[in-house]
Structure 1
């Protein structure tokens, strides 16, 4: 367990022996043409401009007529320079790129974690993770290549750096097999996508094999930004150029409803009975903000008397038990500890999003005096105890907890 000073050089106050778990970091590296995990498909890679533009505006770009959408060049201005650097390296490894990735190896990442007081981290894939959707290849094979790339580079350190697994949801049996394979390689979490697959909700009993495998293996489900598609069909045809709002309105609209699909996914899992059938399953949202969660809880509370309910916990109790959310101050989660923590007790967990441009290199210090003003139990829960408990209740505690 990392020992964190009571007051550091940045002025943050935390417990000396609090367990700190960063649930959202990313592994970004400068590829060469020879070591890129998808190098066999390089001739199909999109341009860096297109890749960045689509990452920034999600589903709105494709839902907007080509003659009305802002140019990719205009959208690039909304991407932090570091993120553009990651993207260029991912899609054009043969080019001369000035990589801006701090801690691009496991050893470097651990050094940074020790400096800022983080014990362990769930390590998400880098920006290369979206490449499979552009490629004409077997989806299961593509995600295996990416999973192995991440696991290989964290090998030997997965007690602290735990890879997050990607899956091909078109093959549920294959997904279970990949979960099992990657758990053996140190993974403790996996990405989900907030949409039906082949016309079937993830809450359908056909999916129970996946959720059972996840809890049996001691793995949590992660719903990260980019895997929560917004239904923009038709709404993108808004005459962005003619209306005068241009790229500013376009970008804002593309990013104001990222939680929409997350709410559909969570409530499908709730009211479809999947959470009730899998009482130890945890769904963690990342970079989707947290301000919508109190309203969702209130709405579910208001529906409390709407007919019979087959589970011991009420719907709201189930949401508080199964759902965890990671706020990110630099993408709009303001006054997290003062405003949202009291409304979401036990649901909020700590993350850095390091090393992305919207993340922070001193993530604990970013919370400032507000972290020290929390009572000890709440502070410990937010920094790591809460999410550690989610792993422990599956019978497979994290190392060091």
Structure 2
């Protein structure tokens, strides 16, 4: 029985970008055309069918925005929710001044991690969106590429730079050009970066599918450099929806569906066969669904592989590749923990989702202990930190 919880390594948190990011890190010749911070009123803000509808209103509540080309991006309370009561975690706009400083200040983030029993943290972007869709959708790709590099420089040197390895860099790629993506992976790997964020379902972004061969140079360089491909729910710019007029709670409940669909895509793609050391990580997808998904995938492979089109591309049962190369993560998922032998004691990692509305901050230790009670110390260590250290090749515990 576990008696003491080891310090947690969270593989899915988020950062609110500071207002100075692009003024500081984007080369001067691009700044006029790059993202600009703005504080202005917000008008109507709704979430319908998995998409936000947003307007500016000079008479609305003050909100911090990014303005970039024809995009107006506001920060909302539900993505900077720590410090608010549950019923205050709404879709209203918010300024950085109203946020808990750990949302955007790395020194304050480390203090909040200490309060929350967290040693290290991997943070996804907010304004660039989960895998850099903001820059992929931009018209001027020269500026967009400069923005991707500026964001990565800020992430590595400023956000993570003085943290003693506690803030783990997660970098973007220019999604619109696989050769530029390969170059950016190499540039960041050379300075110790071991994590990149990617879309769970690239075709939803108008990009080639993982089955097409287009992304093979990207997968090859990630394998070569030990760079983990991290896919956050919603990194396809859409969430699973049922009825188009369903309340946002429906999308929130179904969000794991994106991770499950993406994992099936990869398991039957042959990518994990061709790149046997490539590591995939599903972020914020939870894991209680994994046992049935693997059972179904193996059954389809056994019974239907000929007409199913995978007889020649997937030589072993799909679960083989999951256990070898895929990591899932959880923060509230007792069903997944109860099924840990099938989910995989070496495949599951933990997250706190700071500062989003789902975050367990500041009660993460209590939540984690409630989930792992009854598990042996070795398994608890793996779930709370050991698997994350192995996945990301961290210097901790060596």
State the match for 2:154 in structure 1.
149
Query: Aligned to 1:25, what secondary structure does the other structure show?
Result: strand
Tell me whether 1:124 sits opposite 2:114 in the alignment.
Answer: no
Are residues 1:328 and 2:325 paired? no
Partner of 2:213: 205
Pairing 1:295-334 to 2, within 5 Å after superposition: 295-305=292-302, 306-307=305-306, 308=311, 313-329=316-332, 333-334=333-334
Aligned residues, how many? 350
More deviation, 354-363/171-180: 354-363
Q: Which has the higher contact order (CA 8 A, sep 6+)?
A: 1
Map Cα deviations across residues 57-99 of structure 1 (whole Å, 9 max, x no partner).
Answer: 574457xxxxxxxxxxxxx787775577996448xxxxxx423
How far residue 13 of structure 1 moved from its aligned partner, in angstroms, is 3.7
Q: Does 1:14 align with 2:4?
A: yes
- Encode CA deviations 1:280-313: one digit per residue, 9 max, x unaligned: 2221112223233222111112123234456664
1:160 aligns to 2:166 (yes or no): yes
* 1:54-69 equivalent positions in 2, closer than 5 A: 59-60=50-51
Q: Which has the higher strand share?
A: 2
1:171 pairs, out of 159, 171, 177, with: 177
Structure 2 gaps, min length 5: 54-75, 83-88
- How many Å apart are 1:274 and its aligned residue? 0.2
Once residues 377 and 7 of structure 2 are traced to their aligned partners in structure 1, the CA distance between those partners, rounded to angstroms, is 12
Q: RMSD across aligned C-alpha pairs, in angstroms?
A: 3.8
Change (3 A) 1:22 1:231: closer
1:240-298: CA deviation from partner (whole Å, max 9, x where unpaired): 4xxxxxxxx33133334333443332222221200111112221112223233222111
SS at match of 2:263: helix
Following superposition of structure 1 onto structure 2, how do residues 224-235 of structure 1 map, counting pairs within 5 Å?
Answer: 224-230=232-238
TM-score (norm 1): 0.73
Alignment correspondent of 2:65: none
1:383 matched to which residue of 2? 384
TM-score, normalised by the number of residues in structure 2: 0.73
Distance across 1 between alignment mates of 2:22 and 2:321:
48
Question: Any conservation in 2 of the 1:164–1:189 contact (CA below 8 Å)?
Answer: yes
| Unmatched tracts of structure 1, length 5 or more | 1-5, 7-11, 63-75, 91-96, 241-248
Change (3 A) 1:114 1:190: same
Match status 1:194 vs 2:239: no
Instruction: Look up the match of 1:31.
Output: 19
Q: Please give the alpha-carbon distance, in whole angstroms, between the structure 1 residues aligned to 2:185 and 2:43.
A: 31
- Cα distance change, pair 217–156 in 1 and its aligned pair in 2 (3 A): farther
Say yes or no: does 1:250 pair with 2:247. Answer: yes
Q: Indicate the SS of the match to 2:272.
A: helix
The answer to whether residue 344 in structure 2 is matched with residue 345 in structure 1 is yes
SS at match of 2:349: coil
> How far apart are 1:399 and its partner, in Å?
4.4
In 2, the alpha carbon distance for the partners of 1:199 and 1:34 equals 26
**Which has more helix, going by share of residues?**
1
> Is this contact kept in 2: 1:301–1:316, CA < 8 A?
yes
Deviates more, 1:126-135 or 1:302-311: 126-135
Closer/same/farther in 2, CA of residues 315 and 20 from structure 1, 3 Å limit: same
Q: Would the aligned equivalents of 2:273 and 2:314 in 1 still touch at CA under 8 Å? A: yes
1:27–1:124 CA contact under 8 A, matched in 2: yes
Q: Which residue is equivalent to 2:372?
A: 371
Q: 1:77 to 1:117 in 2, by over 3 A?
A: closer
Q: Which deviations, in whole Å up to 9, do the C-alpha atoms of 1:30-80 show, x marking residues without a partner?
A: 5259847676445698988589746xx574457xxxxxxxxxxxxx78777
Judge conservation of contact 1:123–1:163 (CA < 8 Å) in 2: yes
